[in-house]
């Protein structure tokens, strides 16, 4: 499968240059800073890693992927010397038919187009890989995320796992 082909850049109104690219070795410190910077509410809504679980080994694992069964894209914002990760979209293949996505955007970068652009890049990569279905689990109380994915063409269904979650599904095959 190889590295994802996603690559996009845009400049924000306040002067940041944001680049979407594949995550990779060398991103450990940025990934750790990104997770540490998430609010408790964002970590909870996205099922994030507990801060006490952040170790160099975990950071290395999160940026070193088995490209046959997973990929991750990051949005990196640059302005002068700073180049933090401001969003991460991670996808794992469950079987030939299903890929699962996880998306998290830094609190101060939410509602600025980062999530939408990351998900557009995910759609492109999923299509390139020939996968017919992309799905995710979203907390039933996370109305903002449920509304967001519906605008992106996902169906919202009950989850078999728990009534606390909703399963969101997007099909890439017509018919």
> According to the 3-state scheme, what is the secondary structure of 104-119?
EECHHHCCCCHHHHHH
Q: What percentage of residues in the chain have a pLDDT greater than 90?
A: 60
pLDDT of residue 105: 95
Confidence category of residue 40, pLDDT binned at 50, 70, 90: confident
Once rounded to an integer, what is the mean pLDDT over residues 166-171? 96
**Upper half-sphere CA count for residue 8 (Cβ side, 13 Å):** 19
pLDDT of residue 67: 81
Confidence category of residue 97, pLDDT binned at 50, 70, 90: confident
Confidence category of residue 53, pLDDT binned at 50, 70, 90: confident
Tell me which fold the domain 8-132 belongs to. Answer: Aminopeptidase (3.40.630)
Q: What is the pTM of this model?
A: 0.90
Residue 48 has pLDDT above 90, yes or no: no
Once rounded to an integer, what is the mean pLDDT over residues 150-154? 97
pLDDT of residue 7: 73
Once rounded to an integer, what is the mean pLDDT over residues 30-51? 81
pLDDT of residue 143: 93
Residue 81 has pLDDT above 50, yes or no: yes
Distance CA 167, CA 156 (A): 6
Backbone φ, ψ for residue 115 (5° rounding): -60, -45
pLDDT of residue 116: 96
pLDDT of residue 34: 93
Give me the residue spans of the domains in the chain: 8-132
Distance CA 123, CA 153 (A): 11
- Pick from 29, 116, 53: which is nearest to 103 by CA? 116
pLDDT of residue 175: 46
Give the pLDDT confidence of 99-136 residue by residue, as tens digits. Answer: 999 999 999 999 899 999 999 999 999 998 888 999 99
| Whole-number average pLDDT of the chain | 88
């Amino acid at each position: 499968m190889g590295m994802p082909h996603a690559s996009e850049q845009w400049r924000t109104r306040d002067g940041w240059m944001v680049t979407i690219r594949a995550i990779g070795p060398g991103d450990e410190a940025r990934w750790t800073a990104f997770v540490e910077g998430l609010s408790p509410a964002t970590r909870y809504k996205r099922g994030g890693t507990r801060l006490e679980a952040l170790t160099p080994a975990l950071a290395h694992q999160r940026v070193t992927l088995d490209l046959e069964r997973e990929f991750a894209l990051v949005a990196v914002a640059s302005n002068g010397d700073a180049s933090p990760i401001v969003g991460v979209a991670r996808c794992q293949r469950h079987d030939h038919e299903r890929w699962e996505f996880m998306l998290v955007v830094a609190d101060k970068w939410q509602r600025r187009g980062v999530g939408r652009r990351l998900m557009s890049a995910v759609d492109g990569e999923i299509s390139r890989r020939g996968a017919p279905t992309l799905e995710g689990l979203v907390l039933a109380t996370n109305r903002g995320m449920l509304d967001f994915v519906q605008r992106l063409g996902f169906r919202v269904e009950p989850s078999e796992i728990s009534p606390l979650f909703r399963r969101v599904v997007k099909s890439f095959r017509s018919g």
